[in-house]
Each structure stands twice: as C-alpha cells, then as structure tokens.
Amino acid sequence: MPVRLLASALALFVLTAGPVVAQNSKVLATVNGEAITEAEAKVALEDLLSQLPNVPEDKRLEVAVDFLVEVKLAAQAARKAKIDQSPDFTLKMSYARDRILMERLFAVEGSKATGEAAVKKFYDEQVAKLAPVEEVRARHILVESEEEAKKIHARVKGGEDFAKVATETSKDPGSGKGGGDLGYFSKDRMVPEFAEAAFALKAGEISAPVKSQFGWHIIKLEDRRNRPAPAFADVRERLSQALAERAQAELLEKLRKEAKIDRPGTEKK
C-alpha cells in the first residue's frame, strides 16, 4: 500500500480508538451520543476517495459520514467488548501513531523542498545535463514495389506537391492521409535503412526510393533540430515529487546518522 494511503488508513484507525471532537468543527452526525465532525469526515474522505470515482463531488462528504457511522458503531461495540484493552490493540495503536507521525513529518519536509523557485532551479539543472539529441522532421510516401516508387519519385522530383502526392498514393495508414508527415523523430526511432536515408538529407531534399521491411519509401526532409527540453509545466509535478522524495530520503539518512540504533542479535554493518 502506498505511504499516503497507508497513513490515511492508519489515521482513520486511530480515530476509532475513542471519541474525537475537533475544536471548532461542525458536528455532522452523532452515534449513541458520539459526534462525527466535519473535520473527521474529511479525514475519512481522504481514505475513501479512490473508491468514489463515480460519486458526485457534492455527495462524497455524505458518503464519508455514512461510512463513519458504521465505523463508530463497530468501534463502540469493540470498546464494549474491551478489545481496546488488549495488548494487541495497544501495540497496533502505538505503531499507527508512529506511522502517521512519520508520514506527517515527510509531508512537511517534502513541502519545504518543493517551492516554485526550488522546482524551477531543479528543472534548469536537469535541462543543463541533457545531451543534445538530433531530430529531423520528414514526410514519406510508402508503396509496395520499386516500380511504383520510381514513378512517384519522378512526380515529386518534377515539382508536384509532395504532401498532395503522399495523400493520394501512400500506403502508410498512419501518415498517408496527413500528407506523409511523420513529425520530428530521432535516428533510433526508425528502421536503419529509413533513418540513414532521412538523416543524410538536407532540408527540402527528396531521397531516391529506399527499401525497408515495410516496402519502398520516398522521403522528403522538412527540418532538422536538436530535441527541445520538455516544457517546465509538463514536468513540474514529476520534478516536485522527485525533490520531495529526495528531501525525505536525506532527512531519514540524517536521522539515522544522528541516532543510536541497537539491534541485538545482528552484526553491525
């Protein structure tokens, strides 16, 4: 179970241990006199959210309250049966408390590390490390035989519009109806014969017929460039997550180094 979901489930588990009323929180229901507050329902909703994809947003809090009614009823019955006084329960409560505290600490540390300026700086650092990757933009016409390819090659070399001829004649189901446009691609994205021919061209040039495992190609090079870095907006969330995880790992390593940890029966490594 992911850390966030586990911690959320444990938080809900802690709430069932006894009456909890958050200060200044609206009471949404009572169960045998025990309040279910809006704050408590929102905690439960965090735990339930992945199970409610088809529930309208304005109904989700109501679902959480219904769920908490059942939780309270079960918890009250468990306390009546003195389950909360068992050593096993005490042990699990202690674990749950520590687990939630760890999750909250990590959330705070991650939040401190992921301000807009920090994420943008991290983005710039990663972009600076990117090795240049050459890409070309090309159109092609794909036919089955060399004879067809030679006839079409003569047409486009004679001045006919390449995109128009591609739309009329290309057998490529992906690019044919789009004038043969393949967009930008790197050399490793195409079969070797096609890639070698395409990357040998200059912008505006048309290749002689080229044979590959798919048939015969006539290629026109449109443009050449180095692959641009991904836009900051497109990768911000991933970079933010990476920064948060790095900060959390560094914190944990720092805490380990500062702590005295004894594990009887195991050799120190």
What DSSP line would sit under 98-140, residue for residue? HHHHHHHHHHHHHHHH--HHHHHHHHHHHHHHPPP-EEEEEEE
Q: Are 25 and 40 in contact (CB under 8 A)?
A: yes
Per-residue pLDDT reduced to its tens digit, 199-251: 999 999 999 999 999 999 999 999 999 999 999 999 999 999 999 999 999 99
Residue 146's pLDDT is 97
Structure tokens at 267: 């050799």
* Percentage above 90 pLDDT, the chain: 81
Residue 58: the pLDDT is 87
Q: What is the mean pLDDT of the chain?
A: 90
Q: What's the pLDDT tens digit per position in 144-202?
A: 999 999 999 999 999 999 999 999 999 999 999 999 999 999 999 999 999 999 999 99
Tell if the pTM clears 0.75, that is, is over it: no
Distances 158 to 90, 147, 210 between C-alpha atoms, Å: 86, 17, 18
pLDDT band at residue 51 under the 50/70/90 scheme: confident
Q: What is the pLDDT of residue 23?
A: 54
pLDDT value of residue 267: 63
